[in-house]
Amino acid sequence: MERQVKHLFFFPNGNTAVMDEAGQQIPDLQKSWFLMYVEFLQSKGVKVEDIAEINLPNGKKAEYLKDVHNWRIE
């Protein structure tokens, strides 16, 4: 079954929002773009926790928190 997505938002804090045609959020499609990229890097053998600097689109810096598989914005 094909799902209809009307709006996709990438936020500078690493999150996403996915909405259908009625403007309702689709929670199971709202995976953080930050964590998706972390998982991609890890699949390529990168130790993300050792990256010296992670810069977000809004100019802020982020830190990957390995123990909770999440991030913190400085």
pTM here is 0.81
pLDDT digits (tens, 9 = 90+) for 4-20: 999 999 999 999 999 99
Q: Is the pLDDT of residue 2 over 90?
A: no
How many alpha carbons fall within 13 Å on the CB side of residue 36?
A: 9
Per-residue pLDDT tens over the stretch 34-62: 999 999 999 999 999 999 999 998 899 99
Q: Tell me, what amino acid is at 17?
A: A
DSSP assignment of the chain, as one string? Answer: ------EEEE-TTS-EEEE-TTS-B-GGG---HHHHHHHHHHHTT--GGG-S-EE-TTS-EEEEEGGGTEEEE-
pLDDT of residue 48: 94
72 — pLDDT class (breaks 50, 70, 90):
very high
Q: Is the pLDDT of residue 63 over 80?
A: yes
